[in-house]
Homo-oligomer: A and B are copies of this chain.
Amino acid sequence: MPLDRSTLIPALHNLATQLRIDCVRATSKAGSGHPTTCASAADLVAALFAAEMRFDPTRPRHARADRFVLSKGHAAPILYAAWAAVGLFPRDELLTLREFTSDLEGHPTPRLPFVDVATGSLGQGLCAAVGIALNARRIGSDYRTYVLLGDGETAEGSVWEAAEAAAFQKLDSICGITDVNRLGQSRPTMYQHDLDAYARKYRAFGWHTIEIDGHDMGAILDAFAEARQTTGGPTMILARTLKGKGISFVEDKNGWHGKAFKQGEEEERALKELEAQYVDAPADTIARLVAAIPRPEGPADEPAVARASLPAPEYKLGESVATREAYGTALARLGQADPRVVALDADVGNSTFSERFEKVLPERFFEIYIAEQVMVGAAMGLAARGAIPFPSTFACFLSRAYDFIRMAAISGVGVKFAGSHAGVSIGEDGPSQMALEDLAMMRAEPNMTVFYPSDAVSAERLVELAAYTDGPAYLRTSRPKTPVIYGPDERFAVGGSKVLRESASDTATVVAAGVTVFEALKAYDTLRAEGVFLRVIDAYSVQPIDAATLRAAGRQTGNRIITVEDHYAAGGLGDAVAEAVAPEGITVHRLAVREIPRSGKPDELLDHYGISARHIVEAVKAART
């Protein structure tokens, strides 16, 4: 039973005081952290956790519970203190903050069961919330999504991408709260306490806005109620707060960002002031608050979905099909077989062929328009809540969302990135449209699976494999049509490869992927006509790479390995192969794009930038001398 307001408000006030005290203690013990940014948010967080959100304090992963995203991730201690307050773990554990053996890290990560996506890179929380809210629609739940933002992070463009997407999708289940504490890291923010400067922007982006004093508990409760009543679009509560609220010697003062109070006199002084702020209330006040938290309705777990087994791809050997097109076909088939699969587009669905998914499954196709950050951020939120999201765009434009991809890797969420138009083989559009650093970008993340299909059959199979491989994955597709080289029953595996040509008298191994597979096969034909035999390997799994096959090939072909890739020289296939074969003492000769390219015909560019069949032939001949 909910408490009446005259009991509730002092109880929440005391909870907020407890949260502030816990944050001071934890950060002082850790010797670092952000107590002042926790203090500004304490009243908001107390009200959210103990008087607004529906959730089960013992089951933070409940599928239908309201969600809370701490976009201002440096306020992590207050998130931890809130979950301790509702009883998920003992308050004493808060003192392990930032220790190596504790999951209470400096910024929240999903090692903790109540964290959906890692935060700490500012401006990402609202993007994730878009995906979390879209997921509520997907599973037919009315759970709400709350996001606590800092005022400083509102300068990030990604916040406005999310604002636009949330309004366009009419996500009235999103309630943002901006903790306008006036002070950034190095100086006051642009707008300081001018709440209307923020509100004007959100309203222009189609949001309902509410401006309040973020330390007035009654106003906070009213604002949440108003947000809950608001339909047709999201709500942003702009809360005027004081950084360091409740601790007189730091309150509203510049120069205290990210500083813990020194243990001893400084900490004691802060704690003494805070302790004095408890108001008279029954001893069991906080326990009564927790007991009154409304629990979510419906099953705590989504029904299990069996892995879909797709029928064999329908291509004929030798048929010409672009891998990007096969991606679209496979995505639509997969979506029809598995209700968790969703697609996100940045207005290039007719180039990436994700439009094929839209055609058959419009309700699970999310058009995000030209806003790659929120496309990826929303995919993170969807993945964190059980969907299998495929955001797709030109591979080069995934670089726009690299910080999100990085945080997706930290979060370990199963976003399946699909990038088309890889490399110089796109031709005339020129370098701005060519992805030549995407393999480096994706391979850098140690838990990212990286696939690079060469033909339509492998593209289809790798889409399926990406969907059902844990964690983030990347599928790189190409613009040009390429011949189908695999039969419909060919099997592909994470960490696999295909030996396309081999004989006992192979003189060298050429490792290729994507479009360069066909350059390697052409080089094979040329050399074979001269009586020289090559081993040709399609390294469709770039990460993990098939070390065993590569090492064996190297040993069997005179330790001569040549890699060829439509990518810059650093961080791509060549480096992956080189590291894999290094333990055998085998080195690799790398053919890759080594300068900023220009517009031209695809074949012209492959040749000019040194990755055509001719260059492979030359490299093989040079290696044999």
Q: Does A99 contact B (CB under 8 A)?
A: yes
Which stretch (A53-61, A153-161, A294-302) binds chain B?
A153-161
Which stretch (A172-180, A212-220, A311-319, A365-373) binds chain B?
A365-373
Say which residue of B412, B430, B437 sits within 8 Å of A406 (CB atoms). Answer: B437
Which stretch (A5-13, A41-49, A136-144, A394-402) binds chain B?
A394-402
Say which residue of B98, B118, B164, B201 sits within 8 Å of A204 (CB atoms). Answer: B201
Query: What residue of chain B has the Cβ atom nearest to residue A443's Cβ?
Result: B570
Q: Does A205 contact B (CB under 8 A)?
A: yes
Contact A445 B406 (CB under 8 A): no
Contact A400 B397 (CB under 8 A): no
A369 vs B402: C-alpha distance in the bound complex, in angstroms? 20
Contact B599 A588 (CB under 8 A): no
Q: Does A488 contact B (CB under 8 A)?
A: no
Q: Does A491 contact B (CB under 8 A)?
A: no
Within 8 Å CB of A266, what residues of B?
Answer: none
Within 8 Å CB of A579, what residues of B?
Answer: 569-570, 574-575, 578, 590
Q: Does A605 contact B (CB under 8 A)?
A: yes
Query: What residue of chain B has the Cβ atom nearest to residue A31's Cβ?
Result: B428
Within 8 Å CB of A371, what residues of B?
Answer: 155-157
A578 vs B120: C-alpha distance in the bound complex, in angstroms? 34
A312 vs B604: C-alpha distance in the bound complex, in angstroms? 50
Contact B444 A568 (CB under 8 A): yes
Q: Does A514 contact B (CB under 8 A)?
A: no
Which stretch (A106-114, A279-287, A414-422, A493-501) binds chain B?
A106-114
Which stretch (A343-351, A451-459, A505-513, A528-536) binds chain B?
A343-351
Which stretch (A182-190, A229-237, A240-248, A517-525) binds chain B?
A182-190
**Residue interface mask A192-218, B partner, CB < 8 A = 1:** 000000001101110000000000000
Contact B571 A582 (CB under 8 A): no
Contact A407 B428 (CB under 8 A): no
A32 vs B205: C-alpha distance in the bound complex, in angstroms? 36
Q: Does A595 contact B (CB under 8 A)?
A: yes
Contact A397 B121 (CB under 8 A): yes
- Given A156-B370, A441-B444, the answer on whether A107 and B433 have CB atoms closer than 8 Å is yes
Contact A120 B355 (CB under 8 A): no
Q: Does A585 contact B (CB under 8 A)?
A: yes
Query: What residue of chain B has the Cβ atom nearest to residue A76's Cβ?
Result: B430
Contact B107 A429 (CB under 8 A): yes
Contact A593 B446 (CB under 8 A): yes
Contact B441 A106 (CB under 8 A): no
A377 vs B58: C-alpha distance in the bound complex, in angstroms? 47
- Given A185-B347, A399-B406, A446-B569, the answer on whether A155 and B599 have CB atoms closer than 8 Å is no
Q: Does A410 contact B (CB under 8 A)?
A: yes
> Which among A349, A406, A572 has the highest number of chain B CB atoms within 10 Å?
A406
Q: Does A594 contact B (CB under 8 A)?
A: yes
Q: Does A608 contact B (CB under 8 A)?
A: yes
Q: Does A403 contact B (CB under 8 A)?
A: yes
**Residue interface mask A17-49, B partner, CB < 8 A = 1:** 000000000000011110000000000000000
Contact A186 B355 (CB under 8 A): yes
A531 vs B338: C-alpha distance in the bound complex, in angstroms? 63
Q: Does A361 contact B (CB under 8 A)?
A: no
CB distance from A197 to the nearest CB of B (A): 9
**Residue interface mask A80-119, B partner, CB < 8 A = 1:** 0000000000000000001110100111010100000011
Known: A73-B432, A100-B605, A441-B444. 8 other contacts (CB 8 A): A102-B599, A118-B432, A152-B369, A186-B349, A200-B204, A446-B570, A447-B596, A574-B579
A-B contact pairs, 24 of them (CB 8 A): A98-B430, A99-B599, A100-B600, A100-B601, A102-B599, A105-B599, A106-B430, A111-B598, A152-B369, A156-B400, A157-B158, A186-B367, A201-B201, A396-B406, A399-B403, A399-B406, A402-B402, A440-B443, A441-B441, A446-B595, A446-B596, A543-B570, A570-B579, A579-B590
- Interface pairs A-B: 3 shortest CB-CB: A157-B157, A120-B432, A100-B600
